[in-house]
Amino acid sequence: MNKQFTPPWWALNPHIQTILPLIFKVARPTTFRQRQELDDGDFIDLDWLGSPQNGDPIMVIIHGLEGSADSHYARRMLVAAKAAKLCAVVHHHRGCSGEPNRLARSYHSGDTQDLHHTLEQLKHYYPESPLFAVGYSLGGNVLAKYQGEFQDKSLIDRAVVISAPLQLAACAEKLERGFSKIYQNFLLKKLRKKMRQKLRTPIIGKLMPISRWQLRKLRTFEAFDDKVTAPLHGFTGVADYYQRSSALPYLKKVCKPTLVIHAMDDPFMTAAVMPQAHELSANVSYEAHAFGGHVGFIAGGFPWKPKFYLEPRVLSFLQQGNL
């Protein structure tokens, strides 16, 4: 148990930790957008903070489910990077940059190929630049899985994984219980809206695995992933998707320095997502904090102007031995 993070008395509740950052977002620094065309006809949008020179470190930010560069954690990380004079780029998952993607498929918790494509492009144009990465929630699972899949061939020099659902089935089950259902309903509403847009598109609509009527009946992540995510991305069903996309089994294969941070009171998680020592490679550092909620980690300040643990911790780890 790492004892560096201690929340203020008014932020001990995990739901305050999770929800308050959504309400009091910091202003987003100015970024510029770069579109990457993909071989399958789709695209990925990158939002850049700064213009790196070859050799300058670059931090890649990977957002969570239905997040973007406007997510509260991405905004704060961009602000912190700007203050540290560190170039940063937000890798948007397909369809998350404010414009629908072009294909029936979208993104999912185990999709490491799109991230690898972005990293290959960065290495092509900035071959001498160290690449750092920080992934949040779903993006953290993608990042952890990428590190374990690519091992010593990973293009990322140092990585931080935050509030990642490393065991997807356990997290889906947790979100069906108690107050956690509020988060499930909030996110599923966004996902269903995107699917309705695709179903209304003449060409894409014919490729969708469900109808609008069937979509309305999907009220849990497990049901949505079984009827939409799995068939759209080549899985035989939800069990196959969760088993093959969960990053926990990959942590023992990680070859590049990687920090994983969880809060034990995370309303999206259960103890099943928290790795045991024997499940970690020697290159993985693990922090399990008693408090923090989901991508919260409010460390002080006032409820209307909170201060956070994550940004200085992330930069400290990423810049260690590199700058």
50 Ramachandran zone, left/alpha/beta (phi>0; psi -120 to 50)? left
- pLDDT score, position 321: 56
Give the whole-number percent of the chain exceeding pLDDT 70.
98
Q: Does domain 9-167+246-319 have CATH number 3.40.50.1820?
A: yes
Phi, psi angle pair for 208, to nearest 5°: -75, 145
User: Token pair 């079984």 is at which residue?
Assistant: 226
Indicate if 294 belongs to the active site: yes
Give 320's pLDDT tier (boundaries 50, 70, 90): confident
- pLDDT score, position 4: 77
- pLDDT score, position 2: 46
Q: Residue 122 belongs to what H/E stretch?
A: helix 113-125
pLDDT in tens, 95-120: 999 999 999 999 999 999 999 999 99
Number of H helices, E strands in the chain: 12, 10
Average pLDDT, whole number, for the chain? 96
Q: Is 43 helix (H, G, I), strand (E, B) or coil?
A: strand
Q: Is the pLDDT of residue 323 over 70?
A: no
Residue limits of CATH 3.40.50.1820 in the chain: 9-167+246-319
| Cβ neighbours for 211, distance < 8 A, ≥ 6 positions apart | 199
The arithmetic mean of pLDDT across residues 113-132, rounded, is: 98
Q: Is 83 helix (H, G, I), strand (E, B) or coil?
A: helix
48 DSSP β-pair partners: 32, 89
Indicate if 39 belongs to the active site: no
CA angle centred on 18, ends 173 and 249, rounded to 5°? 45
Task: Name the pairing type of β-strands 87-91 and 43-49.
Answer: antiparallel
Q: Is the pLDDT of residue 3 over 60?
A: no
Catalytic residue among 109, 129, 137, 245: 137
pLDDT in tens, 176-208: 999 999 999 999 999 999 999 999 999 999 999
* CA distances for 159 relative to 125, 299, 312, angstroms: 20, 22, 14
User: DSSP assignment, residue 153?
Assistant: G
CA-based radius of gyration for the chain: 19
pLDDT in tens, 221-258: 999 999 999 999 999 999 999 999 999 999 999 999 99
pLDDT in tens, 266-289: 999 999 999 999 999 999 999 999
- pLDDT score, position 322: 47
* Positions of E strands within 249-321: 258-263, 284-289, 298-302, 305-308
The arithmetic mean of pLDDT across residues 60-79, rounded, is: 98
| Residue 162: HSE in the Cβ half-sphere, 13 Å Cα cutoff | 25
Could you give the CA distance from residue 279 to residue 256 in angstroms, rounded to a whole number?
A: 15
Give the whole-number percent of the chain exceeding pLDDT 90.
97
Contact assessment for residue 259 and residue 233, using Cβ atoms and an 8 Å cutoff: no
Q: Is the pLDDT of residue 315 over 50?
A: yes
Indicate if 152 belongs to the active site: no
